[in-house]
Structure 1
């Protein structure tokens, strides 16, 4: 039967309300050992969302830094967050860029990654881990099953061989599981290249979400992506200031300055662009979220820092309303579209 796979088990799609489609619930604290329990923090951060009709959060944390452990153990925390918050939580599975990936991810080929993703969806996240002999570990009993493939990334202005392997593995896992594919673009670049790779693997475009398109400065580029028939995400709402994420220098690096690039993407600009796309008839292809983390809350005190997850429904939707976006279009972007993507229907 058609269903949405949550961390607590399958749920009928009709039971879901509005959805935050790209979040990282275990990345809200600055680091371990600082006296902040990640489950307590997440439950507190989610409080009050149901007043705005939001009852579902998609956690798109990949394997690697601040993401999934190799054995999937931290997904048990997502289950506890779901129980205590009363919200539906969906866990994604993916790898990330090589600079932030563990050695086993960097060494894996397409076939190995595909097997891993399929096991994450069918047996539970971490159930497909292999040891040095290439043998699987665990039976998946009690594990959290993935409900979407993502966020699968590409870099800034390039698709590396590592990233292409991950995209192709996600595509092949889609065919085996029926899960939708959600991607990470670095500031909106390489979206069309992602689509070309997924096309080669035969993934239906309507089952693809291209992420972070709200961060690309050229609206015509976003229109070209929409014209292919994929879905796109305006999923950095409230993230107006941040440092361009770069690999940290090695521990052996000498003392001195290591410059970073600082970025700004105004939510007024986001609202202007999104309202224009909605007026042009694209609301049926857009998903909304915030990609909120503890670091982003620190960098954005007026948005994420003040409002947390409530910023999108309490503030940003008001900016859209001022620009002519009505409740019906909001319902499409916050509920209809993400629920359609999260619904797994192997009969179709």
Structure 2
């Protein structure tokens, strides 16, 4: 029987429903301010040991996620994949709060699959930078076999494994190779993060060198690449590609955390725009060219960016993909059957694995 490893245990793949393949469920609250202040500050003041599952901030994270997921059942979406790397998008640096995804799944009735990965070097926890290739591989394998970090929740996929804009640092290459080796050992799927669609072919070359199963690899964020010819070139390798920032029409161009010593005064800022009309047009082109069996869809929704997209994520939340954007795809000539492939058949195939004890 084909099964998928969710945060609550193995689930038959036919029970998944439609799948949002790239989301971040613990990042919907962009900070602890709704909880009455930072949990670590309260802990310091009281002398108590922090518990990521008991703070008011954690309760806010769960409550907001459950509410945000409440409209998905009506759209046939039954599964969300949380691809938050260590220390990024709501996940803590050691993976302890992945346990919150179990609460979210139970309370929402939505299947949740947890990924394991390391993000861009500038955002990577110190322990991942200090780990060598063998140690990082062992960590990923343990995340699949025993549980992510200290959470006890087993990974059902590796990703989003990241590389930088127009380059791959030595640390990022190490982690990508480790994810490939762990994929080879565990049989899980692997999905990547490309920064604005760059370095996709270089990612594939590294994965080939490591003997990764490219039939179970997704190259992420290809909808943010300005050059459709490049996207087509990646798709022609036979690998899966993700249009996984649907609804994120505007976002800040941020490659590293803001410096602690930022001087007062005016700062330069870059932002990026990619309209959903462009996404729909490109998807229609790729489907017409025969790539419909290789495409996955998601929103990559985070609370920190919703304010920049008030008519998409800001109005529809997680329902945007299955409601508004799917209608846009139909208007561009993509059929219901083809949408079903991109939202169900293709992502389910990437998540399937043989049941393990």
Hey, what does 2:134 align to over in structure 1? 111
Equivalent of 2:121 in 87, 98, 123: 98
| Alpha-carbon distance in 2 for matches of 1:246, 1:229 | 29
| Alpha-carbon distance in 1 for matches of 2:316, 2:87 | 28
1:283 equivalenced with 2:292 (yes/no):
yes
SS at match of 1:10: strand
Hey, what does 1:39 align to over in structure 2? 62
| Alpha-carbon distance in 2 for matches of 1:249, 1:291 | 21
Hey, what does 2:182 align to over in structure 1? 173
Hey, what does 1:30 align to over in structure 2? 30
Hey, what does 1:4 align to over in structure 2? 4
Say which is worse superposed, 285-294 or 24-33, in terms of deviation: 24-33
Hey, what does 1:14 align to over in structure 2? 14
Q: How much does 1:252 deviate? A: 2.6
- CA contact 1:148–1:180 (8 Å) conserved in 2: yes
- CA contact 2:20–2:299 (8 Å) conserved in 1: yes
1:314 equivalenced with 2:323 (yes/no):
yes
Q: How much does 1:346 deviate? A: 7.6
1:154 equivalenced with 2:177 (yes/no):
no
1:69 equivalenced with 2:92 (yes/no):
yes
1:251 equivalenced with 2:260 (yes/no):
yes
Hey, what does 1:325 align to over in structure 2? 334
How many residues end up aligned between the 2 structures? 333
- CA contact 2:87–2:94 (8 Å) conserved in 1: no
The CA deviation string for residues 206-237 of structure 1, in whole angstroms up to 9 with x for no partner, is 11100000010111101100010100000000
Hey, what does 1:220 align to over in structure 2? 229
Hey, what does 1:134 align to over in structure 2? none
The CA deviation string for residues 242-264 of structure 1, in whole angstroms up to 9 with x for no partner, is 11113234323432333121110
| Alpha-carbon distance in 2 for matches of 1:308, 1:289 | 12
Q: How much does 1:101 deviate? A: 1.2
| Alpha-carbon distance in 1 for matches of 2:273, 2:284 | 20
Structure 1 residues 167 and 346: CA distance shift in structure 2, 3 A: farther
| Alpha-carbon distance in 2 for matches of 1:159, 1:88 | 33
Structure 1 residues 67 and 198: CA distance shift in structure 2, 3 A: farther
Hey, what does 1:235 align to over in structure 2? 244
The CA deviation string for residues 165-216 of structure 1, in whole angstroms up to 9 with x for no partner, is 0100000001111111100000100000000000000112211100000010
Note the residue ranges of structure 2 that are not aligned, 5 or more in a row: 36-56
- CA contact 1:82–1:88 (8 Å) conserved in 2: yes
TM-score by length of 1: 0.93
TM-score by length of 2: 0.91
